[in-house]
Structures are given as C-alpha cells and as structure tokens.
Amino acid sequence: MAGVDTDRFRTLLLEEREKVERALGNLHDENPGSIEDEEEETFDNHLGDAATITFDRELDSTLEENSGRMLAAIDEALKRLEEGTFGTCARCGQPIAEARLEAMPYATKCIDCKRLEERG
Ligand SMILES: [Zn+2]
C-alpha cells in the first residue's frame, strides 16, 4: 500500500526480531537448574514463595511460547513487506494506523478489528 515507509518498518522488524531472539537465547542460557532445589528451601510455611517460583517458571515458558509466536509474526510481517501487503488489516482490508505499526510492526489487524476480536 502507499504511504508506508517499508524500509523503516523492515528495520524495525529486524530489530524486533533480534531482540526476541536474544530474549529467547537468554531464557535458554539461564535455564534455572532444577525446581526441586528452590522449592526445598521454601517448603516449610513459605508456600507463597513456592508459588512465586512456580509462577516464574510458568512465566518463562509462556515467554518462550510468546517469543516463538512473535518470531513467526515478525517473519510474516517481513513477508508482507515484500509482497506489498504490509500495513493492511487482514480482516477488514483497511490501512493499519502507522502509530500502531510503529509500536507493533508485526500487527496484522487494525485496532478496531483487534478490539472486536478481543471482545470475542
Ligand atoms: Zn481492520
């Protein structure tokens, strides 16, 4: 579509991609040993702490899952840049607001469609 600075968004996407890949790499690097060790220390009457540890662990895997999904989304966006469909809402075909693309260059839908979707 006209008006989208594809070079700028390509740069944004590639930067974002690098960030996500680095975050993914960090997740694997710190692979925080065995959860048993951490839980042993907090076992007596510190259920709150144990819950926090479990929560952190779940957050990690969610993060990893999200990162994987985001990488895919970024690759898709790069493909759309090549195809010339970047910045067009996948649902209604209207242009996606540039401010939204700047914040989320891998967005596939305009804010209205996204809201509709989230409302279920
Ligand atoms: Zn839309």
Q: What tens digit of pLDDT does each residue of 76-102 get?
A: 999 999 999 999 999 999 999 999 999
- Residue 38 or residue 63, greater confidence: 63
Residues with CB under 5 A from ligand 1 (ion): 89, 91-92, 110, 113
97 Cα–ligand 1 center, Å: 10
- Residue 3 or residue 114, greater confidence: 114
Q: What is the pTM of this model?
A: 0.69
Instruction: Report whether 13 contacts 77 (CB < 8 A).
Output: yes
Three-state SS at 19:
helix
113 Cα–ligand 1 center, Å: 4
Domain boundaries, the chain: 6-85
63 Cα–ligand 1 center, Å: 27
92 Cα–ligand 1 center, Å: 4
117 Cα–ligand 1 center, Å: 10
Instruction: Report whether 54 contacts 61 (CB < 8 A).
Output: no
**In 3D, which of 53, 64, 1, 71 has the Cα closest to residue 29?**
64
